[in-house]
Amino acid sequence: MRGPRLQDVAERAGVSMKTVSNVVRDYAHVSPQMRERVQRAIDELGYRPNMTARRLATGRTGFIALGVADVAIPYFAELAHVASQRAQAFDYRVMLEETDATIEGERALIASSEAGLIDGMLFQPSRMSSAEIARHRSQIPIVLLGETPAPLTMDRVMIDNVQAAREITEHLIRLGRKRIAFVGHEADALSDTSKQRILGYQEALTAAGLPVDPRMLVATASIAAFDTAEAVRAALAGGWDVDAIVCRDDLAALGTLRALHERGIRVPEDVAVTGWDDTRLSAVTFPSLTTVSPDLDALFTRAMTLLLERIHGFDGAGRHEVVPHRIVVRESAPAPQD
């Protein structure tokens, strides 16, 4: 016995098949009353969308994948939220894929066998090299996100991490801070993200005539607030003398604030602290966190636009584009006094 069809739902709800399709695809411009009416019919009939039939009829499924390392990391959680919300304007929905920040997970994702379920993919790699990404051809269009170098044949969208790190460090210099540390990079092998942020930090120090001291770099065992707190505790116990800290991300800043508080070090009076990503946590820490804020709306919108061009047949060289960022100034490193 066949299952209920789109036509059956339309007849039960007393609407057109197009209206049912708009509700199934979560199209934004459907009234709440109409959506409830159609959903009731869907629930009563037990209708499930047939993605294979949709692909045969339109050439597309209406789904894209978003591949990230770990959705438990606040930045990726917020990126996933923005993608889910903004994709509707493109008449698409998002399937979230996690790689666990492993080379095996990333290889499996980019060589995905899910081509029948999605039309394209937005992918933020952290382990695969540009050359390896280029070698792993996929059946579906892919747009890369983030700082990892991209092949010349693939599109990539990112913020300028070097410039942003330079700006956040310059902000601390304008506050009169002279012993500025960098906290939260990987201990064993620097990611491209960390390399770029450390470079911008170093450029700002050099331009201001401040010393560039490797002892001011504090690595952590993992990208986690707990491990950052442990690393900062150890540095302080070893006589670390700083008056400002650039943290690789907001999680590192959370751990740093904790370790400083435990030692009775005041923020920002004794040590100014900055984060990165402007996650929702940054506005409610104590003190609230000065941080780099990437424009996630612009990041997703531009990446999605490039992806749709690929889905619709564009086969030119890769477009590598930069979207805006800004420095959000809060209590942990306030604006300099005139």
Q: What is the DSSP letter of 116?
A: T
Q: How far is CA 47 from CA 31, 44, 134, in A?
A: 21, 8, 40
pLDDT in tens, 79-101: 999 999 999 888 899 999 999 88
Least confident range from 55-59, 220-224, 261-265, 277-281: namely: 55-59
Q: Are 69 and 98 in contact (CB under 8 A)?
A: yes
pLDDT in tens, 153-209: 999 999 999 999 999 999 999 999 999 999 999 998 899 999 999 999 999 999 999
Least confident range from 6-10, 49-53, 206-210: namely: 49-53
Q: Rounded to whole angstroms, how far apart are CA atoms 291 and 300? A: 20
Range 234-260 average pLDDT: 97
How many CB atoms are located within 10 Å of the residue 205 CB? 23
- Which domains does the chain possess? 6-49 (1.10.260.40), 59-159+295-325 (3.40.50.2300), 161-293 (3.40.50.2300)
Least confident range from 42-46, 232-236, 281-285: namely: 42-46
Q: Rounded to whole angstroms, how far apart are CA atoms 136 and 142? A: 11
pLDDT in tens, 259-305: 999 999 999 999 999 999 999 999 999 999 999 999 999 999 999 99
